[in-house]
């Protein structure tokens, strides 16, 4: 191995010739993948018309990407060991960029779904390899700052996705939702090639049986979560089959891992207390925070009738708050601040912002939306960076890429679970609230009677029904925000499971099977 890539076991990091260029390149790769988790959402109606697809068919543009990325993410550790991080990162960035070009050139729904599958497969390695690379090139006492820089791409990407996608679609066409990845990918590709040295590889046999079990379990679970609301959950035979396959896949993989000397993903990493506790907390964080982020765009566009671009402007302060808090928390952790205290501060800020959102109505002022977004953005940064740092604090360098794949998968599954929960509650809550409000509109109520007296035409009655639906939907949104606030508060004691991060001492010992 070259001197540029030489390791320092006592410090737990590697020296590279141009760390600044590597950081920027890795952040670009992370941002590109994070953007694509949400940027295509707002362009779906335009794609549907252009590709002559039905509503159910166009939903596979999102589902195919999510499922492919989820299935391929656990393979990151094995691929990194046999290919090396440099080759894997270059392949992932180049493949993702090429798949993005193919998506922009798609002329049918079938080809679009295939190209989105390729995007998901190549993009799966971007986030975990980028994270483990930054952890390796920074000394242990600067891991907080490294995770702050990496987290900017992970957290800002989904926030920028909808407004950027809407602007590109409105100003140009839906094809630019994918073509925007070309300059980002090119810069990231050349930057990584110029700054990341070749590392050692360790050839090993691929565990096809373990991969098959895990792929079935993860793929079925993601399909269940993504299509459950569309298919009315367990009343659908499809969802029942997916639930059975998910359970069977995970059960068979655990049995396989227990009896196999070398399995596809080493579940023994969960013997590390910090890694286990961080994954539990990150799952809860995905449920609460990513679900909350998913609720805001439909709230602003459906209830407030804001266009996509205006929605993006109102959500931008959330990203500013996240950037500020991530830069601040990185400095605080470098000075020895307790990660648990920082994360607890972030959870309190998040709970406070959700309490503010519970006070909203169907005509909330824009200023309240911006302020709640800033506070929640601050909370996101204070939580995400410490948890991402503590997760690897007691793991050996050799296990970081595999651990990063597991950590990324846990966060994504938590996000899928949270989004499925709140969207289901939103739909059903709107229906229940609508029925409750309509029951109150009777001729025997003085206020309602006066309102109904001024609605002689069918058109006016339709307008009244639309307003009732709007108010019912607003109540459902607020109930979701209240639930997320309670879950945030309840999750705070989980921080006690974490051990404080120590910046000195020898590198951690390896975690065995």
Asked if 398 and 451 sit in the same domain, the reply is yes
Burial class (CB in 10 A: 0-12, 13-18, 19+), 427: middle
Q: What is the pLDDT of residue 234?
A: 81
> Do 290 and 154 lie in a common domain?
no
- Domain contains 1: no
Residue owning tokens 């607890």 = 344
**SS3 letters for 299-348?**
HHHHHCCCCHHHHHHHHHHHHHHHHHHHHHHHHHHHCCCCHHHHHHHHHH
C-alpha to C-alpha distance for 471 and 440, rounded to whole angstroms: 13
Per-residue confidence band for 110, with pLDDT thresholds at 50, 70 and 90:
confident
66-78 pLDDT per residue, tens = 878 888 888 887 7
Residue 102 has pLDDT above 90, yes or no: yes
Q: How far apart are CA 68 and CA 75, in angstroms?
A: 12
Residue 501: which of 290, 329, 286, 268 has the closest Cα?
Answer: 329
Distance CA 272, CA 123 (A): 27
With 90 as the cut, is the pLDDT of residue 98 above it? yes
Between CA 301 and CA 378 the distance in angstroms is 24
- 372/478 Cα distance (integer angstroms): 14
Say whether both 254 and 353 belong to one domain. no
Domain assignment present for 105: yes
**Which H or E element spans position 14?**
strand 13-14
Query: Whole-angstrom Cα distance, residue 236 to residue 17?
Result: 56
pLDDT exceeds 90 at position 273: no
The string of pLDDT tens digits covering residues 339-393 is 888 889 999 999 999 999 988 877 788 888 889 888 988 888 888 888 888 887 7
- Tell me, yes or no, whether 379 and 407 share the same domain: yes
Decide: 512 and 268 in contact? Cβ < 8 Å: yes
Give yes or no for residue 4 having a pLDDT over 50.
no
Yes or no: say if 397 and 136 are a contact pair by the CB < 8 Å rule.
yes
Which structural domain, as residue segments, surrounds residue 216?
Answer: 208-265
- Domain membership of residue 511 (yes or no) is no
Residue 372 falls within a domain, yes or no? yes
In a domain, 261, yes or no: yes
| Average pLDDT of the residues in 104-124 | 88
Same domain, 146 and 226: no
Regarding whether 274 and 261 lie in a shared domain, the answer is: no
Kindly report the backbone phi and psi dihedral angles of residue 231, in degrees, each rounded to the nearest multiple of 5, phi listed first: -100, 10
Give the per-residue pLDDT at 506.
38
pLDDT beyond 50 at 505: no
Per-state percent for the chain, helix, strand, coil, to nearest 5: 80, 0, 20
Q: Which residue has the higher pLDDT, 500 or 22?
A: 22
pLDDT over threshold 70, residue 445: no
Band of the pLDDT at 10, cuts 50, 70, 90? very low
173: domain CATH number is 1.20.1250.20
- Model pLDDT for residues 130-186, shown as the tens digit of each residue: 877 877 777 776 776 777 777 776 767 777 777 777 778 778 888 888 888 899 889
The DSSP call for residue 53 is -
pLDDT of residue 462: 67
The verdict on 21 and 166 lying in the same domain is yes
Stated length of the chain: 513
Residue 326 lies in a domain: yes
Closest CA relative to residue 101, chosen from 210, 154, 164, 180: 180
Q: How many domains does the chain have?
A: 3
Quote the Cα angle for 508-510-512, to 5°.
145
Q: Are residues 237 and 347 in the same domain?
A: no
On whether residue 509 sits in a domain, the answer given is no
Assigned domain for 235 exists? yes
Token pair belonging to 51? 């590709």
pLDDT given for residue 2 in this prediction: 37
């Amino acid at each position: 191995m070259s001197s540029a890539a030489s390791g320092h076991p006592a410090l737990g990091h590697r020296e590279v010739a141009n760390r600044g260029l590597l950081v920027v390149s890795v952040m670009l790769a992370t941002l590109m993948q994070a953007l694509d988790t949400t940027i295509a959402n707002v362009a779906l109606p335009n794609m549907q018309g252009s590709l002559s697809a039905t509503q159910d068919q166009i939903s596979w543009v999102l589902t195919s990407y999510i499922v492919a990325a989820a299935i391929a993410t656990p393979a990151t550790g094995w691929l990194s060991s046999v290919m090396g991080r440099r080759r894997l990162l270059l392949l992932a960035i180049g493949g993702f960029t090429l798949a993005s070009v193919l998506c922009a050139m798609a002329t049918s729904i079938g080809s679009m779904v295939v190209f989105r599958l390729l995007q998901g497969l190549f993009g799966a390695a971007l986030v975990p390899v980028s994270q483990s690379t930054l952890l390796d090139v920074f000394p242990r006492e600067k891991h907080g700052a490294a995770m702050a820089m990496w987290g900017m791409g992970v957290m800002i990407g989904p926030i920028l996705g909808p407004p950027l996608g809407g602007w590109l679609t409105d100003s140009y066409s839906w094809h630019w939702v994918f073509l925007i990845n070309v300059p980002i990918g090119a810069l990231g590709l050349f930057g990584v090639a110029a700054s990341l040295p070749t590392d050692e590889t360790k050839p090993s046999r691929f565990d096809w049986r373990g991969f098959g079990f895990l792929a079935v379990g993860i793929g079925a679970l993601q399909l269940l979560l993504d299509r459950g609301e569309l298919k009315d959950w367990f009343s659908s035979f499809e969802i029942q089959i997916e639930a059975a396959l998910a359970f069977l896949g995970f059960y068979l993989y655990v049995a396989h891992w227990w009896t196999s000397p070398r399995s596809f993903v080493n579940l023994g990493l969960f013997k590390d207390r910090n890694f286990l506790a961080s994954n539990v907390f990150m799952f809860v964080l995905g449920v609460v925070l990513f679900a909350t982020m998913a609720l805001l765009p439909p709230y602003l566009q459906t209830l407030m009738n804001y266009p996509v671009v205006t929605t993006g402007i109102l959500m931008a302060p959330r990203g500013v708050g996240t950037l500020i808090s991530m830069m601040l928390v990185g400095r605080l952790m470098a000075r020895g601040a307790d990660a648990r205290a920082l994360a607890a501060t972030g959870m309190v800020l998040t709970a406070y912002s959700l309490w503010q959102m519970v006070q909203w109505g169907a005509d909330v002022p824009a200023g309240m939306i911006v302020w709640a977004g800033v506070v929640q953005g601050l909370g996101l940064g204070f939580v995400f960076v410490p948890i991402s740092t503590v997760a690897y604090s007691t793991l050996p360098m050799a296990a970081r890429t595999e651990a990063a794949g597991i950590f990324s998968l846990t966060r994504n599954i938590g996000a899928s679970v949270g989004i499925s929960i709140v969207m289901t509650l939103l739909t059903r809550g709107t229906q229940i609230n609508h029925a409750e409000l309509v029951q109150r509109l009777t001729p025997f109520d003085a206020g309602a009677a006066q309102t109904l007296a001024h609605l002689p035409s069918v058109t006016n009655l339709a307008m009244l029904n639309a307003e009732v639906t709007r108010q019912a939907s607003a109540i459902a949104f607020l109930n979701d925000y209240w639930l997320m606030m309670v879950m945030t508060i309840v999750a705070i004691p989980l921080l006690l499971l974490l051990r404080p991060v120590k910046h000195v001492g020898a590198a951690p010992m390896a975690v065995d099977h």
